[in-house]
Amino acid sequence: MLRYSLLTAGLLLGTSAIAAPAGDLPLMPWPTSVERPATHGALVLSKDISVRVSGDDLGDAVSRLRQRISLQTGWTLQPQADNPDNATITIAIARKVAPLPKPDSDESYALTVDARGVNIAANTRFGALRAMETLLQLVQNGPENTSLPWVSIKDAPRFPWRGLLLDSARHFIPLDDIKRQIDGMAAAKLNVLHWHLTDDQGWRFASKRYPKLTQLASDGQFYTQDQMRDVVRYATARGVRVVPEIDMPGHASAIAVAYPELMSAPGPYEMERHWGVLKPVMDPTKEATYTFASAMIGELAAIFPDPYLHIGGDEVDDSQWKANPAIQQFMRDNKLADSHALQAYFNRKLETILEKNQRQMVGWDEIFHPDLPKSILIQSWQGQDALGEVAKQGYKGILSTGFYLDQPQYTAYHYRNEIVPQGLNNVDVITDSDSAQSWSFTLPRLKGKPVDGSFTLVKGEAGWRGFIDFNGKSRRAVQDIVWRSDNQVTFSVDTWMGETRPVVTVNDDKIGGYFLLGNSRYPVTGQRLEAVPEGIAPVVPDASQQANLLGGEAALWAENVAAPVLDIKLWPRAFAVAERLWSAQDVTDIDNMYTRLQAIDTWATVSVGLQQHARQQVQFTRLANTTDTLALTILAQALEPAQYYTRNHLKFQAGNYDLFEPLNRLADALAPESNTVRQMNRWVDRLVSDAEDSESAESLRHLFTRWQSNTPDALALADSNYQLKAIKPVIQTVDKLAAIGLRLTDLVARQGTLDDAEIASIQNELDKAAQIQDEVVIAAVYPLETLLRATRNP
């Protein structure tokens, strides 16, 4: 057995790059070090697999491991004796520790597979649990047998806090669904379940001291204290911590319904059904408020043993505070300059209560205040700059911006989202030999204020580079700048709105066109600027301050997520977030990630029991009114839900942004990203770069022909269920796009061209097809645009 210090040192020094011989292994998150022998041997498995554990008692983890091997192989395993000699799988644990995971639990491990069997060495039970998940990912049902590849793996997480927020307040999540997500978290090596239990629309935590919270403000949907303890036990067995959140002092409409005397305005109050930032806020000047908070924290601490407790603290609407004379007088008496200072006063009192209960405060960006101790933890929804400032000031922080999985986004966007704030690497330093030009822009949104800013493109000796300034936010470097012959320019940049790709045409001193937010077009206008604007530099903590960044959390807010579609929204994308939080910073190959993600998607369905595919099939069956859902499955290949918060904002515009808006559209059943369109992009890129690539051309023809043949069946389904009627124009448009695709594929394959009038006509059809219909985008438009550009005369 390796000593603790030697094993840890070896893991930290191990290579993180995906070497060619090992890169084909379906592992996610990718381990610290993966080495395979030149012989590429394999350990053949059979139904007499046995497991031996020494150094600690893993509870039912061994039986769960064997059960999942059965699921993956279809075998009924032979019964095994307790800790058999000559076991197939040997797990050696160096130190016995308490089974309750902690923020500093050692999760490192080493795993070796060779002709003699499987050996796992871990410093603690938590490393052993992580190693068992890696082992299960290695099981391969090949052409001749079931086997494990010979491999040597050393592994440890990059960040200690790797979380997932589940929002049970807006749409209630049944216990079985929560437990299944915990299984998924353990499989992805995520280790913190952030359980959002209260919000304006519901109070889900059964309080014995304040029973009216669930009697009046839960619609009868809440968790008993025994049920919450059961979730903690379930998570603990899988090495997952549970951090509860009750939101205070804002997001308090549910509290207002049950105990209006705690609020800053007299009411009356009714159950809130709408989404958004709402006015009810607790009164920080009343002693009863802190009696309530003390009772809540005491009850939560008795149920949830984790040292951290989340108090929310975000999005406080201070209008009730400003309108209350007694609160305003209190602020003057206590020299509290503004509402932020009043909230800090509230949080200081709350922090004292937490300390008495041996708990540390976690809260969103808004709790950050110099009057609070460095022991608090800031969760950032405002982005890397806010997180960078937290780290620079000596506070601990975790990132959620860019990991909001309730938003449909490309997996690659989440995967590129780096925890540590990045600098500009002098991209905005303009020398005498550079030529730079800036344009302002205004991007109206469907809800909220327009997004304003400017972008600057620089032509230097090394080619094009550039940067973008959103008003009030730090400067960002842009990538993939392309100037086209028709004065159209495009580039890409990741923003808080998702993968952002401006496609604008310069006409004299004006610009027009659109910003592509994910897959959704937002019209934009702007004009040439006389000079390059002053920008805001990114907040980048130094190396020592970066130690304050503990990791991050994926967030699954529930305005558009209910239990029947929960898995569809979360998996498999959460594995990519988990890799960003576990694996080394230089594990960034997007294509390799997608290849492994596809394998993990299959594995997680079989081994873990995640239901992203089963739940989609149920939704398709409901919409089709038949179990023959092939027509919807084929149609869905071309489609994606409108990305960013476009769907939320469309519901808001329609007056349906509330609890009772049914999540029953085709958009709700779609995966956030179409794997078929992603493959289609690869075929198109290959064909455009090599017109003689007959395989890609034939793959495209086959796909377009399938879409055309599917049209009558899809239209028949749309006529059979009123919930599909709005998608009928989408079906007809996909049929038109398939015909365009066939023509363009043939043209590119024989290196033919179109004249400007024909190109303009087809582009017009593509522009119309790109418009959002019933919250759906025909994502196939974009690879077709690439084909169209290839038909332009050189």
Rg of the chain, C-alpha, whole Å: 28
**Which of 689, 680, 678, 681 has the alpha carbon at shortest distance from 748?**
689
The Cα 488–Cα 370 span in angstroms is 48
Angle at 646 between CA 641 and CA 650, to 5 degrees: 105
Helix (H, G, I), strand (E, B) or coil at 317: coil
Element (H, E) at 144: none
DSSP at 608:
I
DSSP at 20:
T
Helix (H, G, I), strand (E, B) or coil at 164: strand
What six digits make up the tokens of 634? 């084929």
Whether omega for the bond prior to residue 160 falls within 30 degrees of 0, making it cis, is: no
Start-to-end CA span in the chain (Å): 66
H, E, C per residue of 210-272 = CCHHHHHCCCCCCECHHHHHHHHHHHHHCCCEEEEECCCCCCCHHHHHHCHHHECCCCCCCCC
Contact, 535 vs 475, CB < 8 A?
yes
Helix (H, G, I), strand (E, B) or coil at 481: strand
DSSP at 771:
S
DSSP at 205:
B
The Cα 141–Cα 272 span in angstroms is 51
**Which of 572, 627, 569, 622 has the alpha carbon at shortest distance from 600?**
572
Write down the catalytic residue from 35, 133, 287, 315.
315
What six digits make up the tokens of 294? 């003390």
At which residue do the structure tokens 């939101």 appear?
Answer: 247
Is 775 catalytic? The answer is: no
Torsion angle (degrees, nearest 10) of CA 136, 138, 139, 145:
-170
- Across the chain, which distance is largest between two alpha carbons, in Å? 81
DSSP secondary structure string for all residues of 646-676 = HHHHHHHHTT--BTTS---SHHHHS-SS-HH
**Which of 405, 460, 362, 427 has the alpha carbon at shortest distance from 103?**
362
What six digits make up the tokens of 476? 């960002």
The Cα 308–Cα 362 span in angstroms is 6
**Which of 459, 479, 481, 477 has the alpha carbon at shortest distance from 469?**
477
How many Cα atoms occupy the beta-carbon half-sphere of 667 within 13 Å? 25
Q: How many C-beta atoms lie closer than 10 Å to residue 5's C-beta?
A: 9
DSSP secondary structure string for all residues of 47-112 = TT--EEEESS--TTHHHHHHHHHHHHH---PPP--SS-TT-SEEEEESS---SS--TT----EEEE
Catalytic residues: 315
